[in-house]
Structure 1
Amino acid sequence: MMKLFTTYSLTLVLFVALLWGCTKEDGPCPSPAARTLLVYMGADNNLAGDAWSNIGDLVAGLRAAPGNTHTVVYLDTPQGNPRLLEVTADGAKEVYTWPEQHNSASPEVMRGVIERVCRDYPAGRYGLVLWSHGMAWVPSTATDYFTRSRSRAGDGWPATKYFGQDDTPGPRGYLETEDLAAALPDGRFDYILFDACFMASVEVEYALRAKADYIVAAPTEVISDGFPYGDIVGELLAAEPDLKAVCRTYYEHYAQHADARYRSASVSLVRTSELEALCDLKARLWSSALAHDPAVFADFDLAGVQRLDRYRRPFLFDLGSIVSRLETMGAISSAEGDAWRYQAARTVLYEAHTPVFFDLAIGECSGLSGYVPVAAYPDLNAYYRTLAWTVHDQQVDLSNTPPRNN
């Protein structure tokens, strides 16, 4: 796709920034606004070009955005030191540059950026876009799981992205799930939008349930072009944003794309206040399944559920598909399955997905991915048991459940 931000316009923006800065150190700050939108771009990796393209899209979209709002971009790329940009319909203006490079995939850095933006751009409401690479809840040490299967590693597909990777100055840094939760203040944002792969993971969203009222994310990969900011930034800045419309715009942008290679997308809108009830119900259903068969998870047939990643060793599966499979197996009752679907509908307010993501067929998608602690993945299981989503499951050690004797 053609983007609006050119080398010339970037040079002009940075020149204007010398004349038009605003921080606590340098001068008076903007008046309190109705909303401040922070776009946190962890682009100190191979996504830097996409970051500048998306900033250009923000500029274009702000020409029709509500007034009395602030749009601020934290930008960390391989070129130069991290900086803050205030974005308006007139361009992106640099308002602060950190004196040295730092790790944008650090909870301390993220926390400091949020504090600075909320201090310098006070508002009645705040929205947050988290933009970078991402890999759901899976720890960065689980590199054996990040290998594409040979059939899914072919050329011709657009690039995709995931959350929280910083490549320089080194060593490479990542934000693990617990670090991300620690970095974000409780109750500050009314929504979080993940422009990153795989972040509609129930394990991640449960960990962030106190951080925002709503979360927009994709359970699959996200094409590196990202969300169509020119079309959605006005809604993101609204006093009462229609987040279903944001999701729909993102989905249709790719589902109806002129280039058939780009017709791949999934997206969901989650109401975080319902995640606690979903977790409690999951614990009851999992206990019922284990009572029916103590080896139900250890021996779980992963081929029988909808996968949402394209890796050689799949680890992200549709959460609704897992429950349906347990019901089909007789491990949980139809009444328990119905209870799950009722609570899931209260939690996931919007879901849309294309029939395929590149070469991965998506026959069903509930809007949230989940993990099954099978015996074949003992290394992942050990980390999985540390996640808040599993806290009610600690009465049973799922990873060590003995395989069924045939």
Structure 2
Amino acid sequence: MSTGAKKKAQWTVLGYLAGDNNLEGAAIDDINEMEAVGSSDRMNVVIQVDRAADFNQSNGDWRTTRRYYITQGADRKKITSKLLKDLGETNTGDSRVLQDFMRCAVQDYPAERYLLVLWNHGSGFYVPPEMMVGEGAPSPREMTTRARAKMRRSFFHTTRQEVFSQEPRKRGICYDDGSSDCLDNKELQQVLSYMQTRLDGRKIDVVGMDACLMTMLEVAYQIRNQAAILVGSEETEPGEGWPYDRILADLSAKPTMPGADLAKCIVDRYIESYEEPGPFDQDVTQAALDLSRLGDVTAAVDALAKALLQKLPSVQTKGAIVTAWQRAARFFDNYYVDLHHFAENLGELAGDAAISTACQGVKNAIEGRGAASPIIWERHLGEGMTKVKGLSIYLPPLKNPSDYYRTLDFAADTKWADFLDAYLT
């Protein structure tokens, strides 16, 4: 892929499109959206896209993984960009594949700032192992407690059946149907850490998750030392995902914009793209998080967990938690809750001064009242999103919380996992 020394652009956009699944057609559409703007001497757009065999037959129906330097093209049905390399069949769930793409792109297309877009299916920090029942089928209880949401863009699962059929330890980010593998958040952390060494210790300026359910406190905390800003949705995304033509047009018009401005632009353009009536009503949300400002909200959640642990196994406290959870905006079939909305409800219901004070602390940290809020910008649409603030947290409806949760940095550094164990046993 090397093309010799190049002058630094203002931005290099790295798109990692894991399309070896039922989103293959959406991947092709998004590449064509990118080509509506293309690269310039001040903005590089470099992508790596893996395709599937069964969902889209356009562009010669090639089945391998390709790298492209995105150039401007008017044909919205055909990829016309410069092909850099055909890699053959790859596993987008292998961290080495992502790492190699980023290394080559940064080496050959250096820039002052970098946006990494992880494009595919997604479901927050992890698909809980307790989903596995028998031969991989969900239990009747689980199916009755989980919402029958429409299938949309989600990083970790392609269909409900595939979620349940995969080995628990092989679920995570960038789902690849061809290899039944994916990245998990710890692997993503390791790849971003490696890239820091290639960037002389600098963080990736913006990590964008064009996927479902990714602006979780746990996900943000996992990559806080490797990335400056995280942009994504705490809700499922419609299949169209991000409007790349609008986002890249803004960046092309103002290539000197800092990371926070680009993050706000992504949020605005995403929400605007769903304001017009579509085939069905959309509940959408998008948020930009400053990962250097997670300290106050993390400490507030830790304080809330400690206050709750002091009162468990009190029937009154458990009842307040259940009711607060029921009233809160929930995601991923009820496994995640909007953190602010849950704290707001629990503070009103707890009947305990310590818990109510801790809930107010969580709200203050998210709102930036006497605390450093990580929320740079947040917008939403739809009746179901009126109370969301852009940041979710793991609070499942069933007993036996995920064993994998304990391996996350957030679980190690706070008492939230201890609270879950006490509450769900």
Of the three residues 376, 400, 404, the one matched with 1:378 is 400
The one of 82, 97, 105 aligned to 1:93: 82
Deviation at 1:235, TM superposition (A): 3.3
Deviation string, structure 1 residues 87-122 (Cα, Å, up to 9, x no partner): 022441111121x31211121211111111111111
The one-letter amino acid paired with 1:48 is: E
User: Residue 231 of structure 1 aligns to a residue in which SS?
Assistant: helix
The Cα offsets for residues 241-268 of structure 1, whole Å up to 9 and x where unpaired, read as 42223211211211x2232515331111
Q: What do the CA deviations read for 1:130-160 (whole angstroms, capped 9, x no partner)?
A: 1011110123745457987699548xx6743
- The one-letter code of the counterpart of 2:85 is Y
Q: Following TM superposition, by how much is the alpha carbon of 1:213 offset from its aligned partner in structure 2, in angstroms? A: 1.4
Indicate the residue corresponding to 1:232 in structure 2.
Answer: 247
Question: Of 7, 15, 20, which aligns to 1:44?
Answer: 20
1:96 maps to amino acid: K
2:176 is matched with: 166
User: What corresponds to 2:409 in structure 1?
Assistant: 388
Identify the match of residue 327 of structure 1 among 314, 326, 347: 347
Alpha-carbon separation, structure 1, partners of 2:396 and 2:283:
28
Provide the alpha-carbon RMSD of the alignment: 2.9
Provide the C-alpha distance between the structure 1 equivalents of 2:231 and 2:356, rounded to a whole number of angstroms. Answer: 30
TM-score under structure 2 normalisation?
A: 0.77
Q: CA deviation at 1:393?
A: 3.3
Change (3 A) 1:396 1:182: closer
5 Å-filtered alignment, 1:47-196, equals: 47-62=23-38, 67-78=41-52, 79-90=62-73, 91-98=80-87, 100-139=88-127, 141-144=129-132, 153=148, 159-162=152-155, 163-168=173-178, 170=179, 172-185=180-193, 186=196, 187-196=202-211
1:211 aligns with 2:226: yes
How many percent identity over aligned positions?
22
In structure 2, the CA distance between the partners of 1:114 and 1:396, relative to structure 1 (3 Å rule), is closer
Whether 1:198 aligns to 2:198 is no
> Does 1:348 pair with 2:337?
no
Segments of structure 1 that go 5 or more residues without pairing to the other structure are 1-22
User: Structure 2 CA distance, aligned partners of 1:297 and 1:373?
Assistant: 14
Aligned-partner residue type, residue 176 of structure 2? D
Q: 2: CA distance between counterparts of 1:34 and 1:209? A: 23
1:84 Cα offset (Å): 0.8
**One-letter amino acid of the structure 1 residue matched with residue 257 of structure 2:** E
1:34 aligns with 2:10: yes
Amino acid at match of 1:364: K
**CA contact 1:140–1:174 (8 Å) conserved in 2:** no
Would the alpha carbon gap of residues 150 and 276 (structure 1) be closer, same or farther in structure 2, given more than 3 Å must change? closer
C-alpha distance in 2, partners of 1:192/1:101? Answer: 25
Contact 1:385–1:394 (CA under 8 A) maintained in structure 2: no
* Structure 1 segment 350-369 matched on structure 2, within 5 A: 350-356=377-383, 361-369=384-392
Distance 1:43 1:142, change over 3 A: farther
